Amino acid sequence: MRICVSDVKVLTDPGRGFGRAAKNCAKNRRYERALDASGKATTETKLYSVHFTH
């Protein structure tokens, strides 16, 4: 099941299009549904670091 991402924020943008690319990367990833203690679907906030290599 694909989980919808409602908002992505780039906290530090190094420029040259990397911030936009990191945002697109986060939006296109597959995530598991967040569940509360009773097992019901809920919202969740996650912080990810994206590193680009060549």
Contact 38, 4 (CB under 8 A): no
Instruction: Give me the pLDDT at residue 53, please.
Output: 86
Q: What average pLDDT does the structure give for the chain?
A: 88
Contact 3, 33 (CB under 8 A): yes
Question: Once rounded to an integer, what is the mean pLDDT over residues 3-26?
Answer: 90
Q: pLDDT tens, 17-41? A: 999 999 998 888 888 888 999 999 8
21 phi and psi angles, rounded to 5 deg: -65, -40
Instruction: Give me the pLDDT at residue 2, please.
Output: 63
End-to-end CA, the chain: 31
Instruction: Give me the pLDDT at residue 50, please.
Output: 87
Instruction: Give me the pLDDT at residue 1, please.
Output: 58
